[in-house]
Amino acid sequence: MEAGTVGGIVGGTVRRNTGRHGDSRLITDLMGLLGVAHVLVDPDLTAGYETDWTGAFTGRATAVARPGSTDEVAAVLRICAAHGVPVVPQGGNTGLVGGSVPAGAAIGAVVLSLRRLTAIEPVDAAAGLVTAGAGATLADVQAHARAAGLDSGVDLAARDSATLGGIAATNAGGERVLRHGMTRGQVAGLEAVLADGRVVRRLTGLPKDNVGYDLPALFVGSEGTLGVITRVQLRLVGLPSARTTALIALADITSAVELLARLRTAAGSLDAVELMFDDGIDLVRAHQGLPSPFPDRPADRSRPSGAHNTPYLLVECAGRTDPSDELAAVVETATGVLDVAVATTPTEQARLWAYREGHTAAVNALGVPVKLDVAVPLSRITAFIDGLRELVPAVARPARLHLWGHLAEANLHVNVTGLDRDDSRGREKLTDVILTRVAADGGGIGAEHGVGRAKMAWAGLSRSPAELAVIAAVKHALDPACLLNPGVLVPPYGIALTPGPPVPPA
Ligand code: FAD
Ligand code: MLT
Ligand code: ZN
């Protein structure tokens, strides 16, 4: 990485603000740099930056700074360092673990919004790369790449708002991981600004470039704790010209896992295998006013014995030639298939995807969920799900469990509604019980959304003390004053990290 601007690092301790707007010298300095229009202090204007997508995390910012270039990002960071005020980087604010807002240890921080960094450079088709500003939305990058005959290997339902910077910072997963891997594998290079204003940049686009540590990869998944990402160089993948999508009702999860195995071995065009249940589909239908995906079918044909937990797989195959026959050949010979709806046009496919992608909003409409994002080995997934259906009502009442996810990565989104937003003890207890079960089953407590503020206290269930010490050492080396996103991923300095929920105040 090149060393860029070397700013005046300011040592000393970080001053924690009270959360009240009105740090006039800091605000004056920021306004002097960015102009009044790009430093928001009016609560009506800052509100949208202060609460996360789920509504679970909220806190007042001293100001929202909206720089328009890498140099301005560096200057904002130098000013905040000089004032000892922490910074919360924010992209589309679609993150689901509370890392994008000034809550908890970051109350009173400056929210550094990257949304003005939207430039997208021309696609380099020969290298299969595109470089874009951190504030470019995934949807805009996808449209840009597709116009050049290529595509992004990363895709997720929040594409219209989620930014490349946020996607890199969270190492986002999404719906195409089984074919293209997580975001980390798609980031060829990036540019980031350190807490002291220095710029590090690796955007050569050379796939073979071995000189020690892979610094761009270090920032991927760092959740705004090591630097502010300002540009991202994304690998591009081939643009399929034909897609076939099938929504398949199955007798049970075992049948779903068997179908996944058959698809992997027999369908080279396999692009997505998403899991949901009929209670989730019903919820999305009620939320969006959608018809049944199987209009010709009696209402409960896919619910043997009246059960309300029939699993569904949304399977998509994509390629340069029509993958319909390849997909049909697997599905026709699979066991436990109760119903299939097939879509081959973009309009029909969007209708099927709406049942899957509508889950997040439909669940949130019921109230602020306890939102967990776990992975458990596929060999244990049936027992894990059965266990959850018993465990959740036993631990929390009233509680409603919602399950869906990305089956190919054994990634389950475990959401529980019914608990009061302010019932922090109840929420922590439920989180603790579920994540402890996940760890006991050999799973991971954070699959694709990151750790953020929501899971920080449980990181020790998925990482050893030695690993946590290395993570803390890297954080300390790059951000010794703990200015960047305090309370996310790494405990604010001076607070020991132990597995289990934070000890509630007496
Ligand atoms: P933000 O929410 O703004 O920030 C997320 C984190 O990244 C924060 O810690 C923030 O400080 C940090 N950050 C943001 N920008 C920068 C930057 N430029 N430099 C340094 N740090 C930065 N996630 C998945 O993985 N898979 C999914 O399938 C998926 N589906 C979703 C569907 C819906 C409907 C919603 C609402 C969310 C979904 N998410 C999913 C979560 C979310 O979209 C991703 O985490 C996304 O990567 C966040 O991007 P963002 O720009 O909104 O980041
Ligand atoms: C999803 O796959 O639907 C997302 O990761 C969002 C969520 O978990 O709510
Ligand atoms: Zn997901």
Q: Is 356 in the pocket of ligand 2 (CB under 6 A)?
A: no
For 367-395, the pLDDT digits (tens) are 999 999 999 999 999 999 999 999 999 99
Residue-wise pLDDT for 77-135, tens only, equals 999 999 999 999 999 999 999 999 999 999 999 999 999 999 999 999 999 999 999 99
| Residues 360 and 157 sit within 8 Å (Cβ to Cβ) | yes
Same-domain pairing of 48 and 71: yes
Distance separating alpha carbons of residues 154 and 245, to the nearest angstrom: 18
Residues 356 and 247 in one domain: yes
Mean pLDDT of the chain: 92
Residue 283 and residue 374 in one domain: no
**CATH number of 87's domain:** 3.30.43.10
Q: What element of type H or E holds 4? A: none
CATH code, domain with 393? 3.30.70.2740
64 domain residue, yes or no: yes
Q: How far apart are CA 341 and CA 296, in angstroms?
A: 11
DSSP string for 357-424: HTHHHHHHTTS--EEEEEE--GGGHHHHHHHHHHHHHHHSSS-EEEEEEEGGGTEEEEEEESS-TT-H
- 434 SS3 class: helix
Q: Does ligand 2 come within 6 angstroms of the Cβ of 413?
A: yes
| 103 and 11 inside one domain | yes
Q: What is the pLDDT of residue 492?
A: 83
Domain count, the chain: 3
Same-domain pairing of 74 and 19: yes
**Residue 420: exposure state from Cβ atoms within 10 A (0-12, 13-18, ≥19):** exposed
Whether the CB of 231 sits within 6 Å of ligand 1:
no
Q: Identify whether 226 is part of a domain.
A: no
pLDDT of residue 295: 79
In DSSP terms, 130 is beta-bridged to 234
- Global pTM value: 0.94
d(CA 85, CA 463): 30
* Same-domain check for residues 357 and 386: no
Q: Are 198 and 4 in contact (CB under 8 A)?
A: yes
Tracing tokens 């789920």 back to the chain, one arrives at 54
* Structural domain contains residue 77: yes
* Residue 458 forms part of a structural domain: no
- What CATH number is given to the structural domain containing 266? 3.30.70.2190
Task: Assess whether 414 and 341 both reside in one domain.
Answer: no
- Inside any domain, residue 171: no
Spacing, Cα 92 to ligand 1 middle (Å) = 7
> What does each of the 506 residues of the chain score in pLDDT, given as a tens digit?
332 222 222 223 344 444 444 489 999 999 999 999 999 999 999 999 999 999 999 999 999 999 999 999 999 999 999 999 999 999 999 999 999 999 999 999 999 999 999 999 999 999 999 999 999 999 999 999 999 999 999 999 999 999 999 999 999 999 999 999 999 999 999 999 999 999 999 999 999 999 999 999 999 999 999 999 999 999 999 999 999 999 999 999 999 999 999 999 999 999 999 999 999 999 999 999 999 999 766 445 445 544 568 999 999 999 999 999 999 999 999 999 999 999 999 999 999 999 999 999 999 999 999 999 999 999 999 999 999 999 999 999 889 999 999 999 999 999 999 999 999 999 999 999 999 999 999 999 999 999 999 999 999 999 999 999 999 999 999 999 999 999 999 998 744 444 444 433 33
Q: How many helices (H) and strands (E) does the chain have?
A: 16, 17
Whether residue 249 is found in the same domain as residue 343: yes
First to last CA, the chain: 48
Assess whether the C-beta atom of 449 lies below 6 angstroms from ligand 1: yes
Beta carbons of 292 and 284 less than 8 angstroms apart = no
Ligand that comes closest to the CA of residue 361: 1
If one counts every other C-beta atom within 10 angstroms of the C-beta of residue 106, the result is 30
Kindly tell me the sign of the dihedral angle through the C-alpha atoms of 47, 53, 59, 61. Answer: negative
Long-range contacts of range 293-297, CB-CB < 8 Å, 24 or more positions apart?
293/247, 293/341, 293/351, 293/352, 293/355, 294/249, 294/339, 294/341, 297/339
- Assess if residue 290 is contained within a domain: yes
For residues 353 and 263, membership in a common domain is answered with yes
Q: Is the CB of 359 under 6 A from ligand 2?
A: yes
Q: Are 205 and 187 in contact (CB under 8 A)?
A: no
**Boundaries of domain holding 413:** 366-449
Considering the domain architecture, whether residues 23 and 103 belong to the same structural domain is answered as yes
Indicate if 329 and 400 belong to the same structural domain.
Answer: no
- Tell whether 147 is covered by a domain: no
The Å distance, Cα 173 to ligand 3 centre, comes to 7
Q: Residue 21: inside a domain, yes or no?
A: yes
CA 421 from centroid of its chain's CA atoms: 21
Same domain, 31 and 54: yes
